[in-house]
Amino acid sequence: MANTRGSKDSERSVRDGILATLPSLRAFAISLSGNVDRADDLVQETLLRALANIDSFEPGTNLPAWLFTILRNLFRSEYRKRRREVEDNDGRFAETLKTHPEQNSRIEFEEFQQALAKLPADQREALILVGASGFSYEETAEICGCAVGTVKSRVNRARVKLAELLSIEGIDDFGPDQASRAVVAGSGR
């Protein structure tokens, strides 16, 4: 099935696929690390590794999952090395984002991002992959190298923990009223 002409074409299409996946890959890296510079380093390293190993990708299989796996593994091995360092969330992440009307306020958003950073890495990655990147539980299990049931329970625990961290006692506390109070309270800073 494989021939030299075909393999060159497919390499090109894999390459195009990698490019198309970069924005989402970067969003994953930023959500994982909470640090824009570090995330961009991770994406660059992932890109270089993917291009260097482009032959090992089987065309027709899940390209985004392949790329996310590379980035995830890079992040995790770096994370293990950095374990003893204190949280290095640089706060720049929130600054780079536009404030969406549906986000209510940047304060609320920053709180959310800080809460996300406090989750254990395995829960955080599972929640982002399923809840934002749009991967299925099965794909996420493949990316994280664990069982589907493990992914489900990590996502579950991540959601409960986030609700806890955000001290949500009632939906009103999490709605626009709270957001505008926070804006008023925060405007004096």
DSSP the chain: ---HHHHHHHHHHHHHHHHHHHHHHHHHHHHHHS-HHHHHHHHHHHHHHHHHTGGGS-TTS-HHHHHHHHHHHHHHHHHHHHTTS-----SHHHHHSPPPGGG--HHHHHHHHHHHHHS-HHHHHHHHHHHTS---HHHHHHHHTS-HHHHHHHHHHHHHHHHHHTT-SSGGGGSHHHHHHHHHHHTT-
Q: Which stretch binds other proteins (CB under 8 A): 26-34, 59-67, 70-78, 82-90?
A: 26-34
Residue 13 sits in the site that holds other proteins (CB under 8 A): no
Q: Which of 61-69, 84-92, 145-153, 181-189 is the region at the interface with other proteins (rule: CB under 8 A)?
A: 145-153
Residue whose CB is less far from other proteins, 66 or 141: 141
Question: Minimum CB separation from other proteins for residue 149, in Å?
Answer: 4
For the bound state, the minimum distance from the C-beta of residue 96 to other proteins, rounded and expressed in Å, comes to 7
Judged by the rule CB under 8 A, the positions of this chain that interact with other proteins are 2-4, 7, 19, 22-24, 26-28, 30-31, 40, 43-44, 47-48, 51, 96-98, 100, 102-103, 108-109, 112-113, 116, 127-128, 131-133, 147-149, 152-153, 156-157, 159-160, 162-164, 166, 168, 170-171, 174
